[in-house]
Structure 1
Amino acid sequence: MATALKLTLALVLIGSLLLAYLAPPPARAVDLRVRGAMVAIGLLCYGIAALALVSGSVVAGVLALTVASELVCAAGWLGRGDSPGTDEDEGGGGGGGGGRGPKPPPLDWDWDAFEASFRRYARDRDRQPI
């Protein structure tokens, strides 16, 4: 096997591992059955790679190992879409139910209407004595 091909495959595998563990999780959760199928096919490819390497077919074994590793990395990254959000304060206290938090307001927010409403509120609210 050529050295350039070995280096390319190594870079692809290292890049996949880094993306699977360090990239932000996907925006939507992927069904467990899809991820399970990806892992099962990956494990099957690991078995095929072992048989190919034992029989002396290096190129087929390396390709099967690459496919298996990519599938397992992708399934791991897709599995991160289910994980609940973390607390930003890291204080360890405080309840709350994790989750992803509220949706951001739409981009076409009417700031003039908001300011007018806020001024009305500030003017008409009940003021508490100090």
Structure 2
Amino acid sequence: MATAVKLSLATLLIGSLLLAYLAPPPSRQVDLRVRGGMLAIGLACYVIAAIALTAGSMLAGVLALAVASELICAAGWLGRGDSPGTDEDDSGGGGGGGGRGPKPPPLDWDWDSFEQAFRRYARDRDRQPI
């Protein structure tokens, strides 16, 4: 096989891997059946490539490897559409959820009224026997 063909296939594979793992995820979810079908066809192409290469058919084996690799990369990229979104406020505060929880209290919180309310609650609540 010519060196130019080898280099172009290597470039195609590296580009596909970089896009699959570093590109932004798709804007919408893709059905699991579609991605599973792509993975199944990709794995079947790997088997076909192995058979073709052991039989001595270099061109068919290389083409099957290229198709298999592209399908696996595409399925991986499409699977990233299921990833949970990031925080909407871009605060980078970590934590769970998608940033849709309650807002934190203001910084000028009235701690005296909070303590009075808490003491009233502690005094007036119904106590349950253990």
Equivalent residue number for residue 29 of structure 1: 29
Distance 1:77 1:27 in 2: 11
Equivalent residue number for residue 74 of structure 2: 74
> Which secondary structure state, in structure 2, belongs to the residue aligned with residue 84 of structure 1?
coil
1:85 Cα deviation from its structure 2 partner: 1.2
1:26 Cα deviation from its structure 2 partner: 0.5
Question: 5 Å matches for 1:86-105?
Answer: 86-87=86-87, 88-93=90-95, 97-98=97-98
2:45 counterpart letter in structure 1: C
Equivalent residue number for residue 125 of structure 1: none
Distance 1:68 1:92 in 2: 37
2:36 counterpart letter in structure 1: G
Equivalent residue number for residue 16 of structure 1: 16
Distance 2:62 2:26 in 1: 29
> Which secondary structure state, in structure 1, belongs to the residue aligned with residue 93 of structure 2?
coil
Equivalent residue number for residue 120 of structure 2: none
RMSD between aligned residues: 1.6
Identity of aligned residues (%): 79
1:41 Cα deviation from its structure 2 partner: 0.1
So what's the TM-score if we normalise by structure 1? Answer: 0.70
Q: Structure 1 unaligned segments of length 5 or more: list them.
A: 102-130
2:46 counterpart letter in structure 1: Y
Distance 1:19 1:92 in 2: 26
1:91 counterpart letter in structure 2: G
Runs of 4+, deviation exceeding 6 Å: none
1:44 counterpart letter in structure 2: A
1:92 Cα deviation from its structure 2 partner: 3.0
Equivalent residue number for residue 40 of structure 2: 40
